[in-house]
Structure 1
Amino acid sequence: MCGISGIIGPKATKTNISLMTDAIIHRGSDNISHFIDEKLALGHNRLSIIDLNEGANQPFHKNGNPWILVFNGEIYNYLEIKSELANKGRTFVTHSDTEVLYEAFLVWGENCLEKLNGMFAFAFLNTETKELFTARDRFGVKPLYYYHDEENFIFASEIKAIRQLVNTKLNEKVLANYIAYGSYGMPNESFYEGIKQLPGGHFLNYNKNKLQITQWYDFVSRTNKKILELQNIGQNEAKEEYKKLLKNSIDLRFRADVPVGFTLSGGVDSSLLLALVNQREEAKNIKAFTFYTEDERYDELPWVKQMVLKTQTQLEKVLLKPEEINKRHYQLAKIQDEPYGGIPTIAYAKVFETMAKQGIKVILDGQGMDEAWAGYDYYQNNSNSTIQGQTNTSPFKTNVLATTFLTKAEKPTYPKPFEEDVLNKQYRDLFYTKIPRALRFNDRVSMASTTELREPFLDYRLVEYAFSLPTKMKIRNNQGKYLLREILSDYSKNLAFAPKRPLQTPQREWLAEDLSAMVENAIISIKKSNLAVLFDTQQLQKEWKKYQQGEQDSSFHIWQWISVSKFIDYEK
């Protein structure tokens, strides 16, 4: 797990690449190295996870080959690929997955991507031809942003690194869509003009100032084929096959030369992760971490305690208090670069911080099950919502926007490549809405504590398999994740069929009461800033008053204002 950065063009200087690596030092400080050549520069911030020796440092190259690699992420099946490459006569001087990726690219070129099981964003630069090849993993677990003008191509793991060299303004269309529709942008967009991101499952070629982006992971064709294969599968067979894939996914993600821990909530996903981790020989040495707020309406601590009663797991409880939020948000807003998901994200940030202080560098998390197994309530009805547990009241307040600004908002539309409505909603959530934004939030908060977050449930084999099963195995009796719950019931029936709980923190109450000054300061900041022209500030004040008086079906619009107020700092 690391941070990568690079420049092709006149801006490729030692000073500039150093500015970029300094900006993302939280992503890794075990080693910071640069490669500089004429109009070429690469930078790497290393967080050592596999092969802790300096021979695995990056930028990585060997044998006088013109290709140089910078790589962020982990190739979980690197040992299997290494064996295949060794059989082809390739030799290795390190024990790292970095060298395996390097050799795989030399042997198979872009086709090496199909062999990789992992999370990654990497760049290969040819020092002779000046050609650049960059790629991102299937679901976009690891980030990759870039900027391109007539002279320079600049890329990095985070926006802040690029903004060290480039003056950019807010992308008003993306910002308008965020406030009007809750969209965090399409897979290729950011909240800044000129700075784009490479979508998950795509690679990018850059040569002689020409840029070409290609999709390498075709989820639709792969799952359409698998849907036909699984249309008549029996429940027991599906259950056993998924359990086998799941066990292998967890085994792969335990490959590390540093301590491993995992996060725990009271849901089905975490419960299953706990059950499977508890089957491992080293279970008694693995710690689980969960957060709580001392509010029984929201806390999952009772469920979590029930879960660990039957296991060997050591449980660490992390308390989040309202008086921490303002300071933590100020820190996290800078880390995120873009709006993020509110107080639950702050809670996870504190969990990761606590784990890091205890020497845990690798964290397992349960992200991805709801999308793969149709776990949200809106999969079971005709709603086009993207929010679990949403009421009939819209969480978005378009009346607070100035009319001219609101016209820039355009309701996002998403592809519907499947015949079944449930599949199209799952596809939307996997590639356009829930998973992309959750992965971005989680990448930044984990890296803020210089820890590596791994999501075993987002192994592409698991996602494809669950997605492709008949709907009756995903939704039954008005409840999602049916077969997954059946798997969990082998370990705990009480937890397997517990209802999904959409809320995790008392955000609504805290914003109205304990954090009301924080909200008022955000509104004042907007009114006094150059962003004021984007808002109808009178409506902004009216909506805040309504919220204080009890109209609290949703707090999302309040958090939006807090998020937007932080952009004022970035615009200075």
Structure 2
Amino acid sequence: MCGIAGLYDPNHRFKNTEDILQKMCDLLVHRGPDAQGIQQDQAVTFGHRRLSIIDIQEAANQPMYDASKRYLLTYNGEIYNFKDIRSQLEQQGVRFKTASDTEVILEAWAKWGVESLQKFVGMFAFALFDKHTQDLFLVRDRLGEKPLFYAYFDANSPQSGLGFSSGLASLMACPAFEKQLNPAALQHFLSLNYTLTSQCFFKGVQKLPAAHYLHIKAGQEPQLKRYWDLAASYHSKDENITEEEASEELNVLLSQSLGGQLISDVPLGAFLSGGIDSSTLVAGMTRQLKVPSQTQTFSIGFQEKSYSEIEESKQVADYLKVDHHVKTVTPNLVQNLIDIVAKTDEPFADTSIIPTYYLAEFARKSVTVALSGDGGDELFLGYETYGADKLYQTFSALPRFLFKGGHALAQKILPTQFDKVSFDYKAKQFLYGSSHDYRRAHYSWREIFKPRELEKLLKTPIDPTQSAFADFNSYFEDVKDCHPLDQASYVDIKTWLVDDILVKVDRASMAHSLETRAPFLDHRLVEFAARLPVSLKLKGQEKKYLLKKSQEKYLPHQTLYRQKKGFNAPISLWLNKETKALAKEAMYGEKMQHLTNSSILDKLWQEHETQQVDHGLKLFGLTCLGLWLEQWK
């Protein structure tokens, strides 16, 4: 895991590109504290901050040239099957100077060009420049585990050149770019508490979509191309596969994924919550590493019992006999939340970033790499929202007005609780969503501010054509002929997973220079899950059915079949206690006053403080937005 940055300046706009890259790299030190490199060659200047994981010798530092000096690369991530690719290249006469996966990318590209992307199994974002043809390629991995921001020097003229970086703050250190707020991104954030790939908070800045590469060639229009199509797997269902066959294949693929992701030249461990995803990975680690006591695992919890998973994690750790580390956190959220916001690039308000931040900090004291169970819920239908999706289909014949009325009644009679994903919260969200068509209903399960609420909150009119739902709807179109639950899974992978879950894990772990790896996101495993019949993933209301069945010989029954808890922070409670002063200061700051109506903020606080309505997610989102705006003044 590293940080990359660069400039493509074919018209020599800047005289001091190396100085600019130094400023950009200085803002990526947390991503790569071990080494720095800057290389200028022809139209490009590449920068790199290194977190040494594979081949920690100086010879493996970046930016790096291939053997012929034709290709220059700056790269962030891991290619888990680099040894297999290296072996193929060696059989064709290629000789290597290092043991790094960086050199493998370069020599693979020299041999196969852009087709080499089909061979890579891993997480990555990189820039590669071909000195002979003057072609620049920006590339991002299939699932979007690694970030890559970019912007053209002149938004109206892509031929003017561009800058790119792993971090938004780093990119904005280039003097070509101005910090102008993007209203569409603001609308996305307030709707979801995160921002989708299609928008960035600064005008003119773009995020390279997952599974795409951007091809820049002097004098021509840039070409954004997709190199992997997940929808194709959802359309190629393996309806005849038996439960036994699917279970066996799943375990083979998990073992294959873990085999590549356990390769490290520095200490490696795993997050262990006691849930099925992390427990499955740790059980697999113990089988591959042979000595369970050498497997280090990490878990944290809070004083609030319903938000702590320490006891569950201890049960699994004792069963698997691993070296388990636990910590009950009493957060200094007033200071830590400011630090968290500073590391998120854009406003971000998934409350689980708080425990993830503390967990990464805790794990980093012992290891440099940690495996995480991210992706399991999206692949195998593990979220409560999929149960809601299925329930929606069951009652789809009922008139929508019944649900609208039910929602209004629930708002009046169900008492508000501040417990984790409480019954009243789920009931109200379900009834509201079920008053709409299926696509809008699925979107609404995680919606924060609804359109009418946004109109009242913001001082400027919202643009319906820039709504976050428009992005969701376009992804639904990709799989419109598939089972409704397959549609939901695909849309979540393209939105919630890439723009919330993976952003959270990347930013929280990189804040502490910890590399995280997600074995469930091996694209071969993702394709397999997409091809599975829905009945093997959600059977009745048993979520993750196949994953649970596949692990029955490795994990205790209570671990596999206990109710999912999720990894959240008790933000609704904290906002009425120690975090209230910070939140109000952020929300009523000068920048926020230009954007929001104070009377609406007053109403949100009054209802939350008296526990009439749990506005925890809305208030947390507004708090993070206010803190972010102050930091970007």
Kept in 1: contact 2:250–2:525 (CA 8 A): yes
Tell me whether 246-255 or 31-40 shows the greater mean CA deviation.
Answer: 31-40
**Offset of 1:39 from its aligned partner?**
4.2
For 2:164, the aligned partner's letter is F
Aligned in 2, Cα 1:163/1:365: closer, same or farther, shift over 3 Å? Answer: same
Residue 568 (1) aligns with residue 625 (2): no
Is 1:532 equivalent to 2:532 in the alignment?
no
Please list every run of 5 or more consecutive structure 2 residues that lacks an aligned counterpart in the other structure: 394-420, 430-446
Determine the C-alpha separation between the residues in 1 that align with 2:2 and 2:266: 15
**1:211-226, aligned counterparts within 5 Å?**
211-225=222-236
1:378 aligns with 2:434: no
Q: Give 1:196's aligned residue.
A: 206
Aligned-partner residue type, residue 521 of structure 1: E
2:428 is aligned to 392
1:176 and 2:184 are equivalent in the alignment: no
Deviations 1:34-73 (A, max 9, x none): 1124542110111111111111111111434221011100
1:422 lines up with 2:431 in the alignment: no
Tell me if structure 2 keeps the 8 A contact 1:133–1:203. Answer: yes
Question: Equivalents in 2 of 1:378, 1:113: separation in Å?
Answer: 34
Q: What is aligned with 1:434?
A: 497
Is the CA contact 1:508–1:552 (under 8 Å) kept in the aligned structure 2? no
1:364 to 367, 371, 378: 371
- CA gap of 1:399–1:205, structure 2 versus 1, over 3 A, is closer
**Length-normalised TM-score, structure 2:** 0.85
Which stretch shows the higher mean deviation, 393-402 or 368-377? 393-402
CA contact (8 A) 2:364 2:512 kept: yes
Name the amino acid aligned to 1:412.
F
Q: CA deviation at 1:224?
A: 2.2
Partner of 1:321: 330
State the 1:403 CA deviation.
Answer: 5.0
3-state SS of 1:297 partner = helix
Counterpart position of 2:556: 492
**Secondary structure at the counterpart of residue 51 of structure 1:** coil
Tell me how far 1:189 sits from its aligned partner: 2.3
Deviation at 1:173, TM superposition (A): 1.3
Q: 2:580 aligns with which of 516, 520, 525?
A: 516
Q: Displacement, 1:183?
A: 5.9
* 1:79-118 matched pairs, under 5 angstroms: 79-118=83-122
SS of aligned partner of 1:255:
coil
Judge conservation of contact 1:400–1:537 (CA < 8 Å) in 2.
no
Query: Which of 171, 189, 197 in structure 2 is aligned with 1:187?
Result: 197
Cα deviation for residue 295 of structure 1 reads 1.4
SS at match of 1:41: strand
Note the residue ranges of structure 1 that are not aligned, 5 or more in a row: none
> Deviation at 1:272?
1.2
- In the alignment, the residues of structure 2 paired with residue 342 and residue 421 of structure 1 have an alpha-carbon distance, to the nearest angstrom, of 26
Superposed CA deviations along residues 254-275 of structure 1, whole A, max 9, x for unmatched, are 0010110111113111121222
User: RMSD of the alignment, in Å?
Assistant: 2.0
Please point out which of 125, 129, 132 is paired with 1:125.
Answer: 129
Read off the aligned partner of 1:196 and give its amino acid letter: Q
Match status 1:454 vs 2:490: no
Letter in 1 for 2:4: I
Check if 1:291 corresponds to 2:309.
no
**Which residue identity does 1:113 align to in structure 2?**
L
Distance 1:457 1:32, change over 3 A: same
Aligned residues of 2:193 and 2:349 also touching (Cα < 8 A): no
Once the 2 structures are TM-superposed, how far is the Cα of residue 399 of structure 1 from its aligned partner?
A: 5.8
CA contact (8 A) 1:261 1:363 kept: yes
Report the CA distance between 1:502 and its aligned residue.
4.0
Structure 2 distance, partners of 1:115, 1:524, is 51
Q: Which aligned pairs between 1:11-410 and structure 2 lie closer than 5 A? A: 11=14, 13-148=17-152, 149=154, 150=157, 151-165=160-174, 166-179=177-190, 181-182=191-192, 184-208=194-218, 210-225=221-236, 227=237, 230-279=238-287, 280-322=289-331, 324-358=332-366, 360-382=367-389, 390-393=426-429, 395-396=448-449, 397-398=453-454, 400-407=456-463, 410=467
Deviation at 1:129, TM superposition (A): 3.8
Residues 122-148 of structure 1 show CA distances to partners (whole Å, capped at 9, x for unaligned) of 111123443201211100101111011
CA distance in structure 1 between the aligned counterparts of 2:115 and 2:130, rounded to whole angstroms: 18
Q: 1:331, CA displacement in angstroms?
A: 0.9
Check conservation: 1:2, 1:46, Cα contact below 8 A.
Answer: yes
- Distance apart, 1:411 and its partner CA: 4.4
Q: Is the 8 A contact 2:271 2:370 kept in 1?
A: yes
Q: Distance in 2 between matches of 1:186 and 1:365?
A: 22
Contact 1:295 1:506 in 2 (8 A): yes
Q: Which residue of 1 aligns with 2:531?
A: 468
**SS in structure 1 of the partner of residue 181 of structure 2:** coil
The 8 Å contact of residues 183 and 412 in structure 1, kept in 2 or not, is answered as no
* Contact 2:349/2:621, CA 8 A, preserved across alignment: no
3-state DSSP of counterpart to 1:512:
coil
Contact residue 395 and residue 554 of structure 1 kept, 8 A = no
- Per-residue CA deviations over 1:281-316 (Å, capped at 9, x if unaligned) read 243122111111121122111211211121221221
Deviation at residue 495 of structure 1 after TM alignment: 1.2
Give the number of aligned pairs. 561
Among all aligned residue pairs of Structure 1 and Structure 2, give the percentage whose two residues are the same amino acid.
Answer: 30
User: Aligned partners of 1:476 and 1:40: how far apart in 2?
Assistant: 53
Displacement, 1:467?
2.1
Structure 1 Cα separation of the partners of residues 169 and 352 of structure 2: 23
Corresponding letter in the other structure for 2:378: E
Change (3 A) 1:567 1:295: closer
One-letter amino acid of the structure 2 residue matched with residue 402 of structure 1: L
Q: Distance in 2 between matches of 1:133 and 1:474?
A: 38
8 Å CA contact 1:489, 1:495 repeated in 2:
no
Q: Mean Cα displacement is larger for which, 298-307 or 140-149?
A: 298-307
Tell me, yes or no, if structure 1 residue 444 matches structure 2 residue 507: yes
Q: Indicate how the Cα distance of structure 1 residues 54 and 411 shifts in structure 2: closer, same or farther if over 3 A, else same.
A: closer
What is the rounded CA distance, in whole Å, between the counterparts of 2:463 and 2:61 in structure 1? 49
For 1:410 and 1:223, the matched residues in 2 are separated by: 26
Distance 1:481 1:392, change over 3 A: same
The alpha carbon displacement at 1:565 in A equals 0.5
> Where does residue 440 of structure 2 map in the other structure?
none
Counterpart of 2:396?
Answer: none
Worse-superposed segment, 203-212 or 106-115:
203-212
SS in 2 for 1:27: coil
SS at structure 2 position matched to 1:25: coil
Say whether the 8 Å CA contact 2:48–2:62 is kept in structure 1: yes
Report the Cα distance in structure 1 between the residues aligned to 2:60 and 2:115, rounded to whole angstroms.
23
Tell whether the 8 Å contact from 2:46 to 2:63 is kept in structure 1 after alignment: yes
Higher mean C-alpha displacement, 327-336 vs 306-315: 306-315
Q: Distance in 1 between matches of 2:173 and 2:297?
A: 37
Measured against aligned partners, the alpha-carbon deviations of 1:371-410 in whole angstroms (never above 9, x if no partner) come to 00011222234459xx997341574253652352434662
- Post-superposition Cα deviations, 1:131-186, rounded to whole Å, max 9, x if no partner, equal 2012111001011110112433101111111110122212111112321x216333
Q: Give, as a single letter, the amino acid of the residue that structure 1 aligns with 2:428.
A: N
Task: Using the TM superposition, name which of 510-519 and 95-104 deviates more.
Answer: 510-519
